[in-house]
Every structure is written in structure tokens, then in C-alpha cells.
Structure 1
Amino acid sequence: MEKTLLIGDHILVSKFTYGIHIPNIIPFLNIKLFDDIVLFQKTPEHDDIIVFRYPKNESRDFIKRVIGLPGDLLEIRQQKVYINE
């Protein structure tokens, strides 16, 4: 069985693990200054846990485990996930 987070569990999150995003917009004027810049960029790896804002309601956070990366083949058979098999 995979490790899982349960209701009531606490986690510590680093917002800088995958890079530091440099703001490119002046907030109150909504003027874009330049293209996105990310310093110290790192890509997620298998089994990393990531936290991101829910796209349809940005006041909610989603916590998910990375199971597939670009180029991986994922299959679900009998309620089990198979990666590159």
C-alpha cells in the first residue's frame, strides 16, 4: 500500500522546491513587465508530493502525489496503477 495523507494529518510545504517565480506583473496596475522567470528550476520526480491551487477555486489547495511524468505509460487495471509495464 502507498503512503497516504489522512484527514487531520499535518504537512510542511516548501514553495521554493521547484523554483522561485519572479513576479512579472504590477498588481494594482495589471501591467505585464516581462515573460515569466523561474530561478533554480527543478522538475517534479516520481513519488513527489505537490501542492497547488485548485484551478476552479483558487482558495482551495490540492495535494497530489506525482505518479507519471512526460513519456511514462500509465495503465489502470483492476483498480491498480501500472507505470511503464
Structure 2
Amino acid sequence: MKRDLVEYVDFNNSVHVPRDKIGFVKSDQFSHQKEYRLMIDDGRNVDEHIDLEIGSLADITYLIPTEDFNKSLEIKVKEEN
């Protein structure tokens, strides 16, 4: 298992991702997410899934009606210079 913070990079520039960082690099557009990732390699075929029991997320989540979520969703397109 590998675990690490995600590194956020500007993909508008040439980027080399070292082999040991694959899966832990993401566009800097998402840097506000401050992700920490776990990568598990148990020898399965990449097309097979793994069920991972993580317990309750009730202390960090809440349910809202889909309609309310959709109303609050905003998509911005970054203009090319």
C-alpha cells in the first residue's frame, strides 16, 4: 500500500510525473481539495474492484435533496489566453 498527499501541478506546463508519484498528482485546479490518497495493490487485475469498509461518514457529511444540490452547482469554463 502506498499513501501520500496529492501533489497539485500546472498541467499547462510540461510536467514529468515520477513513476512512484503516479496516482498522487492532480491538476492545480483542484488544489483546494487538499487530498490524501491510499493506493492498494493486492495483485488483482485492474478491472476488479475492492470493497473497502470505511465506517460512518456521518460526522463529515450531510444529505440534501438532489434538486437543492443541482441548484447550487456552478460550472465555470476557464478562458484560454
* TM-score normalized by the length of structure 2: 0.26
Q: Which structure is higher in strand share?
A: 1
Q: Which structure is higher in helix share?
A: 2
